[in-house]
Chains A and B, each alone.
Chain A
Amino acid sequence: MKKYECPDCGYIYDEAIGAEHEGYPAGTAFKDLPEDFPCPDCFVREKPDFVEQSS
């Protein structure tokens, strides 16, 4: 399970948690998110902008 950070607001997409409210359940792999997936906090950065976190 990997984590990816929004470079604008610091939101972290954690594959183990997903983004339930937006309709991406826990366990949804980052690669399975749509390309236009917006940051679920600030909505002004999209999937390609996210930075993978080194664990």
Chain B
Amino acid sequence: MTENINKIQTGIENSGVEDATATAIEEDSGWIKSKRYLYWTSMVLPGVPILSAFLASETGNGLWLWSLLFAWYAILPVLDHFLGLDSANPSDELVEELGKDRYYVYIMYGATVAHWLAIIYVGYTIATVDFSWFNILGASLSVGLSNGLALVAGHELGHKVNDKGQVFAAKVILACSGYGHFFIEHNKGHHKDVATPEDPATSRFGESIYKFVQREVPGAFRRAWELETARLHRLGKSEWSFSNEIIQPALITIAAYTLMLAYFGPIMIPFLAIGAAFGWWQLTSANYIEHYGLMRERAANGRYERCQARHSWNSNQKASNLVLLHLQRHSDHHAHPTRPYQVLRDYPEVPALPYGYPTMFFVSFFPSVFYSLMNPMVINWAEGDMNKVNIDPDVKDEMMKRYHNPKVAKAA
């Protein structure tokens, strides 16, 4: 597989390429092109809570409302396990060809509409049909998961800052869970500070997800607000203006949530609050595992080295890569933040998680299990030199004492 990828990267038109490799590449580009239709998943998944709300009201069985939650944490990990890894990488020619194809952008526009429909339709259903509190919780969490997927699509759209249409769609879809500040914080903040102790969206070695979220959510918002304020001041405007791109999507959220509250009643308060919070939790989960413990080295002048492929955790599982728009090919995303999802590449020798993101999200609920899985991998990544690891300062002494041993690497 590795060899195959290397050949693709060196260009497929080399005269010396054997027939077998040529066939493999043809199969690969066939698969890459057929994924064109599989990306409809991004519009179909928000259809799951819609369909399940419909079935719940038709059959009277409120357990249907849990569907998307079940699909995410139970079905997708199983699919990942059986469908395995996606060895196909687009060639330079395909990157050129598919990267420009607007078709893939229209799917994101479709997803933007579908995610709002999911919130509205499920909200309408629980407001008009009598379900138990337990199943209303299921509906809220399912919409929360859908909101998490909306953040993935919003992430994709929000990187395309030179395209007004995509930026507008990013604001609309990020507003699903009231997280419109994300594209500013992520593009200008996270991408700049990634894998450093300064980044609120990079998790530290020995930091549980429950501790991380308390640093991440407020830290990300503060950074977004500062960046946006600085931009508006350069323009000679106040941060309290309609030009503020944090306020714009916030107004979409406030307007939509207020209308739902007015039409569907007070049940919308817990429903929308849980849905938004659980959407944020999905983003927190992704941020938690994407750079856990990894740290860029600091040069003598105090500047961090440029973000390298080795500073992100990747997963190359076929199923979850489709659902997550290749977000799991995370090293390539950080190398080329504007590269569209359909042409992101996997690289051999990049840090790889043992499972796809959905499974890892579930594992991260249990810090001791997460540590037992990931800590040895981080130590191995740093070759036993814990000075190279981004460690939570609260446990730093303990972790240094327990794991620091740079000689291990040299002996091996």
Contact = CB atoms under 8 A, between A and B. Distances in A.
A44 interface: yes
Interface stretch (B74-82, B129-137, B187-195, B257-265): B187-195
Nearest to B192: A43
Interface string A1-45: 000000011010000000001111000000000000010111110
B231 A23 contact: yes
16 contacts: A9-B336, A21-B231, A22-B231, A23-B231, A23-B232, A23-B233, A23-B234, A23-B235, A38-B188, A40-B161, A41-B161, A41-B162, A43-B188, A43-B192, A44-B307, A44-B337
Given A41-B161, A41-B162, A44-B307, A9 B338 contact: yes
B231 to A, nearest CB: 6
Number of contact residues on B: which range applies? 10 to 19
A21 B232 CA distance: 9
B234 A44 contact: no
Given A41-B162, A43-B337, A24 B191 contact: no
A8 B360 CA distance: 31
Interface of B: 161-162, 187-188, 191-192, 231-235, 306-307, 334-338
B223 to A, nearest CB: 13
B192 A38 contact: yes
A8 B339 CA distance: 10
A22 B184 CA distance: 12
Contact of B234 (A9, A11, A24): A24
A8 B161 CA distance: 15
- Nearest first, the 9 closest Cβ-Cβ pairs linking A and B are A23-B234, A23-B235, A9-B338, A42-B337, A42-B338, A43-B187, A43-B188, A44-B191, A43-B191
A46 to B, nearest CB: 9
B338 A41 contact: yes
B188 A42 contact: no
Contacts of B235: 23
Nearest to A23: B234
A7 to B, nearest CB: 11
A43 B233 CA distance: 19
A44 B231 CA distance: 17
Given A23-B231, A44-B192, 15 more contacts: A22-B234, A23-B233, A38-B192, A40-B161, A41-B161, A41-B162, A41-B338, A42-B337, A42-B338, A43-B187, A43-B188, A43-B191, A43-B337, A44-B191, A44-B334
Contacts of B307: 44
Contacts of B335: 8
A8 B307 CA distance: 13
B192 to A, nearest CB: 6
B237 to A, nearest CB: 9
Contacts of A40: 161-162
B118 to A, nearest CB: 31
Nearest to A11: B162
